Amino acid sequence: MPSRSDITYFGAGPAALPTDVLQTASQALVDFQGTGLGIAEHSHRSAIATKILEEAKADLASYLDVPEDYEILFMQAGGTGEFSATIYNLVGAWVTRKQQEAEKAGADEAKVQADLQKQVDEQLKLDYVVTGSWSLKAYQEACRLLGPEHVNLVADARTINHGKFGKIPEESTWKLSRNPAMVFFCDNETVDGVEFCKFPEALAPKADGTGPIVVADMSSNILSRRIPIKNYSLIFFGAQKNLGSTGITVVIVKKSLLPPVCPQPSPTLLRKLGLPIGPIVLSYEIIAKNNSLYNTLSIFDVYIAGLVLNKLLASFPDKVDGQEAVANQKAKLIYEALESQPDAYRIVPAPANRSRMNICFRVIKGGDMDAAEKAFLEKSKQQGLEGLKGHRSVGGIRASNYNSVPLEGAEKLAKFISQYAKE
């Protein structure tokens, strides 16, 4: 049987964790800092848990240079839960803004509600840029919760790529709504290997600071490159790719979308307007008010995330910029190995949109692609290269080049790619 040191794991998630992080966490799971109890046994409302939570938030803010006017929330339900949470919370914020505008004009309660109903019916829109499987799921969830009449498909990448994902439509073709409740995009599509190389210019804030409320799913590329956080109103990400283990989701949200500036409308008002009322555990207002501890948060998973952040900060004095350089170097090695053997491999996404985190390709050598890919996977496992099978919905090969994959692991895969093509 292989040892842990023999394996380089390229699985898409849950991803591998640094071995030293796991060793520290395993000891803490049995006895945390001499307390006689494991970290998973300590109350989530204890001083120990609070310290772990606060340190993880502070380290994340330091690593990514999160501005002070943003709140960091630890939640549950994964990225998929955030597809719903963003809708509930940002539609609520939109209603609150419209309500505040009407009340400032001096209208009475009946007039305010009538005006709100008219604006909901005629103006409420959520915009979605669909570039892969996950942004498509987010778009579909919005249609399910609000109805398609309130959801605007800004762009669908399949329309420019023969019905498949793999390209990002030119921004000049995007059809953005006027003053939407939010504009959503997925910064890196894990399944399809597509990544935005930079923040979309079409969504950039204006000189006066105004602009659309931009929401991004960064579940699979967070902590791998610098983010212009000020351009976003909300960023969310599951921990299980680059931050830690499965079980927690992080939200970085502008404080201007939370009380006291923007309290959520009452459930009574939302019911009268025919809008959905979200579960309380998905309420950013409630989670923020309770310091992420409204219900029982998995402090063990927060602890692991904290260990990962400690390791990143210790490894890279220049913080995320240092990790970005390594991530780019690893991706370059793997893509160059694939490009050097065009008779053996076909990279799926277009060059301008290739993900650094999820490198998707097909093995075309020999004519029978299924047989060739099966052989490739078998041979790769013999070399200790695990987790390379593509997502079940698209097939092929996928090398997930997350932060935990060392440079040596990327070099090993690049060497195998070249050798296999020559066999």
Segment 372-380 shows an average pLDDT of 96
pLDDT over threshold 90, residue 97: yes
Model confidence at 187: pLDDT above 90 = yes
- Choose, from 187, 217, 254, 301, the residue flagged as catalytic: 217
Please tell me the predicted confidence (pLDDT) of residue 103. Answer: 87
Which whole number is the average pLDDT over 165-189?
A: 97
Strand partners for 186: 217
pLDDT-derived band of residue 85, with 50, 70 and 90 as boundaries?
very high
**Encoded tokens for 21:** 């992080």
CA distance 242 to 14: 9
Q: What is the mean pLDDT of residues 233-238?
A: 98
Q: Is 134 a catalytic residue?
A: yes
Q: Which residues contact 211 (CB under 8 A, 6 or more apart)?
A: 203, 204, 205, 231
Domains of the chain, first to last: 51-302 (3.40.640.10), 318-422 (3.90.1150.10)
Q: Taking 90 as the threshold, does the pLDDT of residue 249 lie above it?
A: yes
Q: At 2, is the pLDDT very low, low, confident or very high (cuts 50, 70, 90)?
A: confident
- At 16-43, the pLDDT tens digits run 999 999 999 999 999 999 999 999 999 9
pLDDT at 20: 96
Q: From residue 59, how far is each of 37, 219, 240, 278, 338 by CA, in Å?
A: 25, 18, 17, 30, 36
The predicted-structure confidence for 207-216, as pLDDT tens digits, reads as follows 888 899 999 9
Q: Please state whether 149 falls in left (phi above 0), alpha (psi between -120 and 50) or beta.
A: alpha
Please state which of the ranges 169-173, 341-345, 364-368 shows the lowest mean pLDDT: 364-368
Give CA–CA dist 396/369, Å, rounded.
Answer: 9
Q: Give the H/E segment covering residue 28.
A: helix 19-30
| 127 pLDDT more than 90 | yes
Q: 376: pLDDT confidence band, cut at 50, 70 and 90?
A: very high
Tokens standing for 407?
A: 């440079």
Closest CA to 165 of 137, 126, 207: 137
User: Residue 141's pLDDT is what?
Assistant: 98
| Selected catalytic residue, list 59, 94, 127, 134 | 134
- Is residue 157 over pLDDT 80? yes
pLDDT of residue 418: 97
Ordered DSSP codes for 269-307 = HHHHTT-----GGG-HHHHHHTTT-SS---HHHHHHHHH
Average pLDDT, the chain: 96
The whole-number average pLDDT for the span 341-356 is 97
pLDDT score recorded for residue 107 = 74
Give the closest residue to 413 by CA, choosing from 383, 391, 371, 375.
383
Q: Annotated catalytic residue: which of 57, 241, 254, 365?
A: 241
Q: What is the pLDDT of residue 147?
A: 98
pLDDT (tens digit per residue) in 382-417: 999 999 999 999 999 999 999 999 999 999 999 999
| Integer Cα distance of 89 and 249 in angstroms | 16
- Respond yes or no: is residue 217 known to be catalytic: yes
Q: At 54, is the pLDDT very low, low, confident or very high (cuts 50, 70, 90)?
A: very high
pLDDT band at 288 (very low <50, low <70, confident <90, very high): very high
Q: How confident is the model at residue 110 (pLDDT cuts 50, 70, 90)?
A: confident
Res. 124 pLDDT band, cuts 50 70 90 = very high
pTM, two decimals, is: 0.97
Q: How high is the pLDDT of residue 209?
A: 80
Going by pLDDT thresholds of 50, 70 and 90, the confidence category of residue 109 is confident
Place of tokens 């309660």: 109
356 with 328: CB under 8 angstroms? yes
pLDDT the model gives residue 365:
87
Matching residue, tokens 């309770």: 290
Decide if 208 is catalytic.
no
